Each structure stands twice: as structure tokens, then as C-alpha cells.
Amino acid sequence: MIDKKHVMILEYRHGIMQFNNNKKVPNEMMIQVIDDDFDILNTIKLYLQRAGLNVFGFTDPNLALEHFRINCKDYALVISDIRMPAMNGFEFIRKIREVSPAIKVLLMSAFEINSTELSAGLEGAKIEGFVQKPISLHQLSSIVQKQLEIQYLHSRANRK
């Protein structure tokens, strides 16, 4: 069972999210954000909420994984910190890829991660991007919106 103190559920809003390039993407697409630092998690979560996104935030990767397993068909993007005490971001990503190999993933870290360390940690798992913290919330929002747009266009193409 998911402990409610570890999950921050953002208000769900029906409708369409408008991107700067005038493409429309339904905001039913869920995003999961995992960071063991509650303040960072909350800041990212609230900013993405103000952008109209449907976000679930977790400070505990094990709870995030449980929620992902239950709701994997509704998720479009996962954003995970790399360095966390219970399970690092590399392990977390490998586990969610077992559940949903096509899920889009962004990893983030406040620590310097070189490409060799990143490749070794991923062990061949694909990610869509790496975010170096600190990052402006506007930049992060742009990266998220681009990933959601790609996911939406991909899912529409697969339906045809």
C-alpha cells in the first residue's frame, strides 16, 4: 500500500495542454517525479502543476515503483534523481523498464556525472535525457513538454 505522506498528487485537470509551437497534447498523460529531497521534489511538482501537467511526486523510489507498476499505462514520462538512499536512479530506471520498456525517462542529479559513469550505471538502458541540477524551472518545463509532445505524437502514429 502506498503511504500518502510520500506521494504528492497534483490536481488533475481535464482538457488540452497547449505547447508553444501550437501543438496540442492531452494533459491526461501522467508524469512521475522521484527525488529524495522533498523541497526539490515539491518545487518541481508545483511548477509542473502550474503548467497544467498531471504529476505524481515521490520521495521514496520503492513507493514510486509500486505506483508505476499499478498505473504504468497512464504514465508518459518519469523524471528520477540518480542519488537516493533507498534505491539509486539507475536501479529505479532498470526496474520501471522491466514494467514498461517504452516509457520515456529523464535522469537528474546535482552531482557531476560523466558520460562513462552514466553509461555504466544505466547498463544499456535508454534514457531520453540527463538534467544537471540546478536547472531553471522554465528550462525543465521546456524539456518535459518536448518529451510529452514526442510521446503524444508517437502514440498517435501508432494508433493509425
Are 59 and 39 a contacting pair, CB within 8 Å? no
Q: Is pLDDT at 26 greater than 70 in this prediction?
A: no
Alpha-carbon distance values, 77 to 1, 96, 97, 116, 128 (Å): 22, 11, 12, 24, 10
Beta carbons within 10 angstroms of residue 126's beta carbon: 11
Dist CA 123 CA 103 (whole Å): 17
Dist CA 128 CA 120 (whole Å): 16
Domains, the chain, ordered by start: 4-159 (3.40.50.2300)
Alpha helices for the chain (secondary structure H): 38-50, 61-71, 89-99, 115-122, 137-159
Dist CA 138 CA 158 (whole Å): 30
Q: Is pLDDT at 110 greater than 70 in this prediction?
A: yes
Q: Is pLDDT at 150 greater than 90 in this prediction?
A: no
pLDDT, one tens digit per residue, over 52-92 is 899 999 999 999 999 999 999 999 999 999 999 989 999 99
Question: So what's the pLDDT on residue 19?
Answer: 36
- If phi > 0 it is left, if psi is from -120 to 50 it is alpha, else beta; for residue 144 that is alpha
Question: So what's the pLDDT on residue 104?
Answer: 93
Are 106 and 77 a contacting pair, CB within 8 Å? yes
